Homo-oligomer: A and B are copies of this chain.
């Protein structure tokens, strides 16, 4: 244990990096996938299952938690870790993306973002300073600056304006964090700039000058497409300091993650494992399996007899099919478990491959099979 936040680069293999973030609440092995605990719960899983699956860190959402149950309330209850029974590191998203995607009547000014709660319509104002204050109240180990997320596509002027505003907000967040952050906590900046390499470069360089302990790449996986995302990553990641962790926000499929790791990204989060699980989809080393499909109705095989995850190893596809068709909670529980476990296994195998200098071969092997749908599936 240390009271400092630090990042150690342990191996590089082509563009891929293997490392370790150290926080007072424990280490984060990178590349790392952070299961999403939007409202202080990784949906349909007990915290012990998330830990046992191999996750070092989970993500929670500032936007959701400020609205319900409220940051001050969580602080009075002893902070987010104790509230949700997760003793490891927590990263909190700042709320910018959710304001764009969930809130109504939003209006962004220099001051911050005004919006109406999607829960009860209450009028809210989120400024960069308040975003930091909320994350300090939650007690998150890695905080994100407030940024302005815009829809894709947007006009070049709009993309530039939002990127520049996000930069000014990054500076305000840094000042607020210098005042309110605790030792060992970290504030990450977020690179914006849409799909324009030049804007991304300017954003990355200006943020680098702020000497933050880590950097995120935001505003991707919003509909621009896989190839475009990779092009933006190629233009952005190398502009960020080699010695700081790089977090690609909201990404993605196993194939997306493999490509982003190949391009130098270290941290990821996505609702895909849990959301897909609730919808009846399982991730396996032989591709995605849609348990709704009638072909599983009499299949006595488990999803993966070799998995160490009980949900993948011990339950028949026929039973999973039945649970999903019947709308039973156990179906969502088992498939969310399968998927969160799978994503962690994927990260473990990538870390091992990078450490062994065989990441390119790993990526080639799995690129195709992971994006596969089982024959007859979908």
**Chain A interface (Cβ < 8 Å from any Cβ of B):** 39-41, 43-46, 68-69, 73, 76-78, 83-85, 297-298, 300, 314-316, 318-319, 321-323, 325-326, 328-330, 332-333
A83–B41 CB distance below 8 A: no
A328–B43 CB distance below 8 A: yes
A sample of 24 cross-chain residue pairs with beta-carbon separation below 8 angstroms, ordered by A number, consists of: A39-B322, A39-B326, A40-B319, A40-B322, A41-B328, A41-B330, A43-B328, A44-B330, A46-B330, A46-B333, A68-B322, A69-B297, A69-B321, A69-B325, A77-B300, A77-B316, A77-B318, A78-B300, A83-B316, A83-B319, A85-B314, A85-B315, A329-B329, A329-B332
Which of B84, B318, B322 is within 8 Å of A319, CB to CB?
A: B84
Q: How many copies does the complex hold?
A: 2
| Chain B neighbourhood of A84, CB < 8 A | 319
Complex Cα spacing A226 to B31, Å? 60
Q: Which of A44, A45, A68, A332 has the most CB of B within 10 A?
A: A44
Which of B77, B322, B329 is within 8 Å of A43, CB to CB?
A: B329
A72 to chain B, nearest CB (A): 10
A330 to chain B, nearest CB (A): 4
Which of B83, B315, B332 is within 8 Å of A318, CB to CB?
A: B83
Complex Cα spacing A330 to B48, Å? 12
